[in-house]
Structure 1
């Protein structure tokens, strides 16, 4: 067991008591340690799963801890809560134990999570009883009364535990909390549990980083539901303050506190999406504005889950986290913390507005820089205009002049009717059209030259499309031709199953279109040409984001399909063989 800065002699002072903060290097633990050190009444033993203590001098909690270790007011202990003997060594001689999350459980399987959260709590309780510790305060979560299927409005501590939880961590937290409360008043140990709701603040490793990551990927432009659902959030310093109040209440042996759980919030319910918007805008990101129906999002994740199950892939922590986020983001979740105000004499010391401002300032390194857009290839024109060549074609399809665009559209509709709907064969339709064009052009040329003594002027090619775009398009056509030859060669030699699947699917859909849906496909292409580019120009960033998400999902699905092929048939195995 690693011990840094241990100074047991400091605890001999009659005016100072010794406490243990389990999970003292976690988000809640760091601020709780800072609060305890600021009181000057405690010798704090910081216990965590990290092998060694790594301090960031720029962070306020770490700077205070460094000074406290130097003065003997604090010490650091490596602790594995699954090891009962090490728990005993850390807790022995202390008067109070604060239990917070000891490690980041994201990505852990059920067994490890259970051993850390539930078995770990059992070991701590037994150690407290054996070492005659007087008080145990457990930091839980408001999620223990939330099952994801119903709203909670002004929920009180009388709410029961759900029969079934939507995510594993909430289930395990509920089990751990129940163990702590059940252990109250056994062998002189007094216990209580706190249930903070949606903790945020400087040093946050979950809420704010997750939001920033989603904003950078484009997901945070979407509002799940109507955006009117209310939520309670709790600033981190208020959580630490609540722990101090709980310990003082237990120290006073208040009967109404021991063995009870208390909701802890900022007592300022706010719309969930308004809170998210304030944080994102403060960091320079766009606030969410596209509303998605909850059922659509739910069925989307249900579809992904079904695909995973059909492929024999179990649900991972990322899928569970996404489902839990959807539930929190679309449901009302407000809690009544009047019991904590009355019994613990708790009241927030930092307002919600002040907490948001401090959080934004602490995450300035996450702010959106000027280069984030990642789409800087088209600074002077829209991407749709660039793809269409920036000439006459772009002006027509992007409806720069409504009358002109409508005229071209009307002509193309007539041609579509002439070739595909009139009932004539394609050859006869072409012949009739060429004959009509020849007569019209001959007559126009003869009349203008004889009557007005003028020649027909030809429009310069750049009027329709920029020369650079034409050259680039020709280069792409040549590149596509070479790639096609390479694909045909790979298919003939059977080298790459990825190419085989892509080609087979493409050829199948091409066969369907040519055989049965050619007329429909041409008509749809005509309509889409005059609508899709215009829409894309208006919602360019949103569509690009959706495209990235779909491509990422398709790549993941393709990877799963390829993984089921025999090892000798995969491209990777062939390269290894070579």
Structure 2
């Protein structure tokens, strides 16, 4: 009897242990399935793309360096390296002073440069080699691949410019059309007052000063730009209401013809 009682006690203990293990196993399985379902639910939510956020950012919120295209050109215009920027500006000022102030002509400059290059090459090849063992004069040549790359880049840029002009002339954006017309009118007035070289040099100096001043006084400049944009929109609305709205469209003409 005692042995039977002990065996029953052991069997009941083993059964209870098995039940606890099975319950814990099922509990872990349910928790893991719950966690997997939660992970799936989290994965099912759409994630916003960064491109949409980038497109929503206004140009005024971007840094000036990014607006200028970045790279060495933006560093040069924003005076990140003062020696390089000052050197380029001094070189441009020298060229402008030679042609405008001293009234030096382009043909004379090309001839004098060629005379200088030929003289140096002659001395290098004949005179200096009698006293010193000089290396050969460096040979300058234009690579075919480089020429083709430059030609392809020019072709792409010219085609892009023509497409932009075509879109502006189509009249889809009245504000852009009027802005371009006003800009060309101002340039024509400036061209009648000064020469082409002076105009190009003035634009060059403005490119080296205006972005830097805008970067330093960005808040005040943005306020002025916003006021100017509001005034332009107001004037465009008045022009649209008083003039362009009275011009018959092509659709009305086509209907009359039919």
Q: CA deviation at 1:482?
A: 2.0
Q: 1:396 to 1:423 in 2, by over 3 A?
A: same
Per the alignment, residue 419 of structure 1 pairs with: 99
1:563 and 2:241 matched:
yes
Q: 1:507 to 1:411 in 2, by over 3 A?
A: closer
Q: CA deviation at 1:415?
A: 0.7
1:396 and 2:76 matched:
yes
1:479 and 2:157 matched:
no
Q: Deviations over 1:12-64 (max 9, x none)?
A: xxxxxxxxxxxxxxxxxxxxxxxxxxxxxxxxxxxxxxxxxxxxxxxxxxxxx
CA distance in 1, matches of 2:173, 2:241: 13
Tell me if structure 2 keeps the 8 A contact 1:399–1:405.
Answer: yes
Query: Larger radius of gyration, structure 1 or 2?
Result: 2
CA distance in 2, matches of 1:401, 1:508: 35
2:243 aligned counterpart, secondary structure: coil
Tell me if structure 1 keeps the 8 A contact 2:59–2:67.
Answer: no
2:205 to 516, 527, 540: 527
Tell me if structure 2 keeps the 8 A contact 1:498–1:562.
Answer: no
Q: 1:566 to 1:397 in 2, by over 3 A?
A: closer
Per the alignment, residue 194 of structure 2 pairs with: 517
Gaps of 5+ in 2: 1-52, 142-148
Tell me if structure 1 keeps the 8 A contact 2:60–2:222.
Answer: no
Tell me if structure 2 keeps the 8 A contact 1:398–1:534.
Answer: yes
Q: CA deviation at 1:457?
A: 8.7
Q: CA deviation at 1:431?
A: 0.7
Tell me if structure 2 keeps the 8 A contact 1:384–1:536.
Answer: no
1:455 to 131, 138, 141: 138
TM-score, scaled relative to structure 2: 0.51
2:71 aligned counterpart, secondary structure: coil
Q: CA deviation at 1:412?
A: 1.0
2:232 to 538, 550, 554: 554
Q: Deviations over 1:496-544 (max 9, x none)?
A: 9878755653443232122113465344323212212322343456545
CA distance in 1, matches of 2:135, 2:88: 28
Per the alignment, residue 435 of structure 1 pairs with: 111
Per the alignment, residue 574 of structure 1 pairs with: 249
Q: 1:553 to 1:521 in 2, by over 3 A?
A: same
Aligned residues: 184
- Which structure's residues are more often strand, by fraction? 1
- Taking only aligned residues, the RMSD between alpha carbons, in angstroms, comes to 4.6
- Which structure's residues are more often helix, by fraction? 2
Tell me if structure 1 keeps the 8 A contact 2:77–2:208.
Answer: yes
Per the alignment, residue 406 of structure 1 pairs with: 86
